[in-house]
Structure 1
């Protein structure tokens, strides 16, 4: 943990050492990428590396106070730039900028030079989107928001969290019964999506299986010392286990732990850097391990038939290599930019039509609901309608309305971040605003898939918050029941 005195800021203002670490990290990435780009035969095209430098430069603007009076780790604008940018750099964008792109799964007919020019376009459009975001944030000023009344501290948070876990546990039990056993349910990820249980009984059961992951986040928002209790971690780990068993999604099992760490930092006005580094290492290993497990389930009839070797370093390497592939040879945004409008027409808002259906289970809607960007990308560009491949928010905006779509989407999103920051600043200790703010700055972006993720998280956050209040009211009601006459004062 980096220690030092922070200026008074609900956003956790940057310490000089933190600012230096961010700037130094970006410079190190640029220098190492440049050495690879210009110092090896497999280096990237100069135009690609130049576009990469432009993107990193625009990404670093908030670090120098541009558009911000006091940069803070949890400032909505700063967080979006650093969280999105640094994460993408560390998980593949730096590799793309340094080594270029020899081939792409969806663009098999393109030469290396053509692919690298498309990748350069991708970096430049990312930079354009960030500039539009900064400008949009600056345009929306003097937003007045209400200050909410602080609720009383509940005394039955642990009980409420344990009771809440009944809902995802029941959902997993129903899925397991449909699959024949819990082991068979864990094999679902290894078969085609149209043959999975979700295609038969509805994906809402998978959604319910994941609602337990919000309980530790809201619990920590109520009680900043909740992480000291063993039952807190039992609930957190059990919730992550349930969502992985139900969906097979590695991200769904890892994200709850990241969100807990971020909520802890916001509540304590400090960042547990050592714990975060350990968690990052564990996350990479888990991505590799769970990926190997998922690959081993393909073609297996029972869980006993699954064979895979769990080795620490090989799992970490496999996890990192898969993240790099998502930024390079399987980059959905590059697939869009290389295909639109030459091979595939603009969508003109088609992917955004799915957003109003975000809270409506597909089973309750007569006919098919509109597809989000990831599904459209897999169907029209990759030719695989049985999966979903993210387009990235910039790729989706471009696919819909070309360059104007990027400018408009990120200008408006800048206003959304300004409003969210104002609401949080006015209610920095409110146990409902804290988790909503955390989920917003982590998940929300101007894309259909990102809005899906945020709304799908927001609903159980509100649900568990209200559930905590109900459990507390029941307790208070029990405590306020009058005693029979003659039973008071020892009479």
Structure 2
């Protein structure tokens, strides 16, 4: 008996065969696509190019760096240029770049006035990076060119994996109604809040816990990751509840629950972006369900995010003195909060650590040969059991790239981390072949993820998996965070009955 071809699912062919089929990625109307492309063309290509021609400055290789910037923007936004109707806002080819574009605009809204800068010469500042402080201008410029070429190589490898690599099988997930979703979600949230209270008492209170971040987050909470995973299960349970019950937005109890769980991630880890990332998860699920784009709401939330990041950043900085200054949350200085939020988000770009990394590897710093990925492989082992468990690539970047420490095999790095991004980690571990292979695999995985949602567009359980996975990048840090959320999420959905094991006889009949 032959296996039917339906087992190999092509979402693009399916969409072409059924144009009336619901598009779970939320289609982008042509005016939005035109607006995006015009903005990129004007602000990312024409204005920087004109400024380079009018005011070239003294920094070396300016024209070459500008040409590569243009090439990168063209490759990055190629899915918008060659848009297909079966794609949309939430498609893996589009959402990460569009989300980064929106974040960049909200981070620095002053860039919208860039056309005025053409009439005034910019300050002729030399190329500088704190990790390349003693380097000559020409060497820094060549490192920037090398970094940009690797970024283009990574994108092309990703597209190859998405469009041309072998297609993994896409399962069909059966939809089951939830069993007591609200009580079960509230039970998990309640237990996570109780554990949070106990954990804070162990730490001497919220103030003492936050104050300990002044010594560095690893020194403060190293070995306590298992508590974090259990506590954050409340957030995952709230997300599952939101996905399986479309009436939650009309329930004050749900909003009270969301308001309780969203700040916990910051209070646990001191990560300001975690609050925004959690809100984005709920927005993704809402968009899949309603097939709408929260344009006005998204703008309000984006502006609020800048203030929030600035306020939480000021609170975090107050811990460097060993105490917590809670007055920064009440003594609101709008200008300072906006400036702090913009600076914080701008410093989170992966190119910040990426440039010095490619400048020093392998000439001055040896390859890692997969060492940083061990953190993702052994994430499930508590550090209290294995004190020397490998850490992610961020602490290695801080020690070996920024501070030029000698690499010592088996050394436990206790300093803070500076993430170099997925490209930097792939390059540092396996050089150019690593960039090609890892990003090709990432493209294959995202094709499977998109096909999974396309084939199961009406299954809320798949919405949750998709939302938790959409912004995952192939770096050890994000992979660990993804595993810590996706595994509890699937367990919670099985408990609620949204996912159920099918009898083997049924599976054999379906494959026959």
Q: Corresponding residue for 1:32?
A: 47
Which runs of structure 2 are paired with 1:219-298 in the superposition (5 Å)?
Answer: 219-298=241-320
From 392, 398, 415, the counterpart of 1:386? 415
| CA contact 2:315–2:326 (8 Å) conserved in 1 | no
TM-score of the superposed pair, with normalisation by structure 2: 0.81
**Larger deviation, residues 263-272 vs 225-234:** 225-234
The alignment of Structure 1 onto Structure 2 pairs a total of residues equal to 458
Tell me the CA shift for residue 295 of structure 1.
Answer: 0.9
Which runs of structure 2 are paired with 1:37-436 in the superposition (5 Å)?
Answer: 37-40=52-55, 45-65=62-82, 70-84=86-100, 87=103, 102-140=127-165, 143-154=168-179, 156-193=180-217, 195-196=219-220, 198-199=221-222, 202-301=224-323, 309-327=331-349, 331-365=352-386, 367-383=387-403, 385-436=414-465
| CA contact 1:101–1:115 (8 Å) conserved in 2 | no
Q: Which has the higher contact order (CA 8 A, sep 6+)?
A: 2
| SS at 2:131 equivalent | coil
Partner Cα distance (1:28, 1:246) in 2: 41
Tell me the CA shift for residue 263 of structure 1.
Answer: 1.2
Tell me the CA shift for residue 111 of structure 1.
Answer: 3.0
Cα pair distance change 1:192/1:137, threshold 3 Å = closer
Partner Cα distance (1:14, 1:325) in 2: 30
**Larger deviation, residues 144-153 vs 264-273:** 144-153
Tell me the CA shift for residue 91 of structure 1.
Answer: 5.5
* CA deviation string 1:139-160 (max 9, x = no partner): 2355442322210144x43322
**Larger deviation, residues 174-183 vs 284-293:** 174-183
* CA deviation string 1:1-46 (max 9, x = no partner): xxxx998422222211121122122113223333444444668722
| CA contact 2:189–2:235 (8 Å) conserved in 1 | no
Tell me the CA shift for residue 369 of structure 1.
Answer: 1.5
Give unmatched runs, 5+ long, in structure 2.
1-18, 115-121, 404-412, 501-512
| SS at 2:94 equivalent | helix
From 427, 446, 449, the counterpart of 2:477? 449
Partner Cα distance (2:48, 2:247) in 1: 42
TM-score of the superposed pair, with normalisation by structure 1: 0.84
| CA contact 1:333–1:392 (8 Å) conserved in 2 | yes
| CA contact 1:213–1:239 (8 Å) conserved in 2 | yes
Tell me the CA shift for residue 398 of structure 1.
Answer: 1.0
Tell me the CA shift for residue 309 of structure 1.
Answer: 4.1
| CA contact 1:59–1:85 (8 Å) conserved in 2 | no
* CA deviation string 1:284-329 (max 9, x = no partner): 111111111111122244657989842123201211122223439x
Q: Corresponding residue for 2:409?
A: none
* CA deviation string 1:357-400 (max 9, x = no partner): 122222233x4112221121122112384111111111111111
Tell me the CA shift for residue 435 of structure 1.
Answer: 0.9
Cα pair distance change 1:374/1:90, threshold 3 Å = farther
Cα pair distance change 1:241/1:80, threshold 3 Å = closer
Q: Corresponding residue for 1:481?
A: none
Partner Cα distance (1:34, 1:167) in 2: 56
